[in-house]
Structure 1
C-alpha cells in the first residue's frame, strides 16, 4: 500500500489546491421545476415512500466521497450502496460528502446532517482530513476535530468507521509523523473500525485518476469500493 506513496506525495504537492477548492457537486435530487403539478399519491405510493431500507449508512467526507467530477451514480456513496446491496443487504448509503470540506467544516455540519435524516444511521463512515493535510493545517487541530466528531456520534450511539489518509513526504517528516497516526490512534481510543488509507489500490496508477491527478475515475472508485465494502459488511455485522 505504501510503496507508491512517493508518487502520491509528488502529485498532491503539485496539485494540492485542486481538492481543497473544488466545487461541491449539484444535488440533482433536490431540483424541482416551478410549474410542477402535484400528483395525488395512492396508499401504495405512500407506503413505498415511507419505507426506509433496513440499514442506513452515512458517507461523511469531502470531494472524494462526494463523487467530484463523476456522474451521479459513479461516486463512492452510490457505488458502495450497490456493492452492499449485491451482498443481500437492504441498505441506503446517504452521500454527505462536500467538496473542499476540512475537519472543522465537517464538525460544524455534523449535527445538522444527522438530525435531517429519517432515522438514526446504523453506521457513519467518516473520511475527512485530506483537505486539512493539503492546506498544511496543524495535525493537532485535525485530530481534535475528528475526535470531536467521533465523540458526538458515540454520544448518539452511532457506530463509526474511519477511513484514513496519509501525508505525502513532501510535507516533511515531522508533519507526516504527526498526521499519519491520527486515524489509528482515534480508532484505538474509541474502539471504532478503521480502513487505514482510503486511496489504497488507486495511488500509483495515473489512469485511475481524473485529469486533475487528484480525484479517482469511476474505475478508481470501483477499486476503492471493492476493497472497503467487505470491511463495511464486517463492521455492520450480521
Structure 2
C-alpha cells in the first residue's frame, strides 16, 4: 500500500521532469540551428567607388558589381557585394558618404577611387588625405579593406605622376590593407601598350565595356576572395 501510494506521488513528478528534459532538448536544438544560420550568413562587402564601380554605360547585369557577385558565387564564396559606386565621384565624394556607406551590416570594404581626381587634376596631396580618412574610418570599425590603385597619366608631368602613383601602395602598407595595383591592370596582362586596351573599352576610352569588365573581375576576383576570408576570420 505504501509502495502504491509512493508511486502515485512520484508519477506526476517524474512526468514533469521528462517534459522539462524534452523542452531543454528542443531549446538546445533550436539554439544550434540558429547558430548555424547565423554562421551561414553571407559576408557583406561595400564597394565604394565612382563610375567604374557603378557600372557606367553598361546594362545592369554587365557592371562591375553584378559581374563580381556572379564570379564569387561561381568560385564558392558566400558574399553580397553592395554597389556603393557613384558616377563622377572623387575621393572627396567618397569620403563624404563613407559614414552612411559603412552600415552595421558591412563586413568588408573595397575602395576604388581616384580616377576623377586625375581627370580634374586634383592635387595628389588632397587625394591622399581623402583616401587616408576613408581608410581610417574603416580601421575604426576593424573592417578589412581592399584598396585598388589608380595610375596617373603622364600629361600632368613626371612629378605629379610619381606623387599620385605612390598614394595607393603607401596607404595600403600603412593601414595593412589588401592591395591591387590598378583597376585596369588585368587588361594590361597581354602587354603594356595602351592600345591593347581598346577592344575592352567603351567608345569614351575611359570606361570598360562588358568584355573588359569580365576580364577585370577575373583579375581582381582572387583579391576579393582574400578580403572575404579576412572578414570571415575577424
Tell me, in whole angstroms, the C-alpha distance in 2 between the residues paired with 1:224 and 1:90.
Answer: 20
- Where does residue 60 of structure 1 map in the other structure? 48
Aligned counterpart for 2:177 among listed residues 155, 171, 192: 192
Alignment of 1:236 onto 2:228: yes
Alignment of 1:125 onto 2:110: yes
- Over 3 Å counting, the alpha-carbon distance change for 1:87 and 1:201 in structure 2 is closer
Q: Is the 8 A contact 2:46 2:110 kept in 1?
A: yes
Indicate the RMSD between aligned Cα atoms, in angstroms. Answer: 1.7
Higher helix share: 2
- Where does residue 160 of structure 2 map in the other structure? 175
Tell me, in whole angstroms, the C-alpha distance in 2 between the residues paired with 1:144 and 1:189.
Answer: 13
Q: Is the 8 A contact 2:146 2:223 kept in 1?
A: no
Superposition pairs for residues 1-238 of structure 1, below 5 Å?
53-115=41-103, 119=105, 121-202=106-187, 203=194, 204-237=196-229
Number of residue pairs matched?
186
* Higher RCO, Cα 8 Å, sep 6+: 1
Give the structure-1-normalised TM-score.
0.75
Tell me, in whole angstroms, the C-alpha distance in 2 between the residues paired with 1:136 and 1:90.
Answer: 39
Cα deviation for residue 201 of structure 1 reads: 3.1
Cα deviation for residue 218 of structure 1 reads: 0.5
Unaligned segments of structure 2, at least 5 residues: 1-37, 188-193
Give the structure-2-normalised TM-score.
0.76
**Tell me, what secondary structure is at the counterpart of 2:97?**
helix
Cα deviation for residue 87 of structure 1 reads: 1.3
Q: Is the 8 A contact 1:53 1:92 kept in 2?
A: no
Unaligned segments of structure 1, at least 5 residues: 1-50
